[in-house]
Structure 1
Amino acid sequence: MARKGRVVIAGAATGLLLVAFGKSFVAPTPAGAAVFPENIDIPSIDVDAPLMKLKLEKSGDLQLPPFDKPKMAGWYTGSAVPGDKGASVIVGHVDTKTAPAVFFKLRQIRKGALIKVERSDGKTAEYKVDSVEQIPKTDFPAKRVYVENGLKLVTCGGQFDYAKGEYVDNIIVYASPA
């Protein structure tokens, strides 16, 4: 949960990473690309959610799914399409002011769990969870998330800082093709 308009995922790190390493490390999807992910299914934690496209804001922060659609996750269009080579990043809220959101149970996922991402071309990309980490937002592993191969799922976690209106940590799931 966070105040509206405040980025709770380390989106600024994305912009800094692109500047520091150059855009060649991220596989941007051309505008209007024919293939994109449409749905994410994680049976072990009861997630079956539509995906929306997310871009970087002019500020360099990553857009987030709208809080009024808590059961929707988002795919960062500057990352690889799930099932293709490269880093693929999907983000979702852990909760809203009133209810759990799409990635509420993400911290409960275990190594080896299956993640399926349905694509617009009718294919389904399947991944198995390699690891899950909870890390302070101040130590967000931008290179590992946005550059290294595999699927990454990102949400908020840890303690909620009421003064800042956001969680202090991120929960990150790393997965490899199954």
Structure 2
Amino acid sequence: MRLIPNMISSLPSSLLRRAAFVVLIFGGLAACQKNDASAGQVTGTLNDAAQAAGQKLDQAASYVGQQVDATKATAQQNLDSASAPSINIDPAALASSAQANLQNAASTANAQLGKAASITGQGLEAAGRKLQAWSAQNATSSASSSASSSGSSSASADSSDAQKQMDK
């Protein structure tokens, strides 16, 4: 009967490790974005993405917690009913049922974490595209204002410099 609490306590730590790994991956992806935006704007965008990812992970962790609590309650009910003198319960069947419940909860939680990771990744990609478009638009308007004030040769040099900055 000690098998059930041990299985239940190992489930959240495994999921938390997976969630931490997902957050680290998204942080690395966000750091690899090549934008020419100011540090304040990038920080704000990354903070928004991190908050969205954190909310999704909190939702997934909450769901896992609910599944674990439900499994614990079911196991406790099974144990309580096992102590009734008129009911015969096979310990192997009880352990098998508890294990199936835990595996179902883990599978569901894993699916929710995958969904949260996908949504977060899509959000980060969209934010990156918007920042790149903004950067390109800003570089174009900067180059066109320079061209009107300093001639065509200066405009092509500024445009080339802006393109080099965006490529970095």
Structure with bigger RCO (C-alpha 8 Å, 6+ apart): 2
Question: Max radius of gyration: which structure?
Answer: 2
Q: Specify the TM-score bucket, using the shorter chain as the normaliser.
A: under 0.3
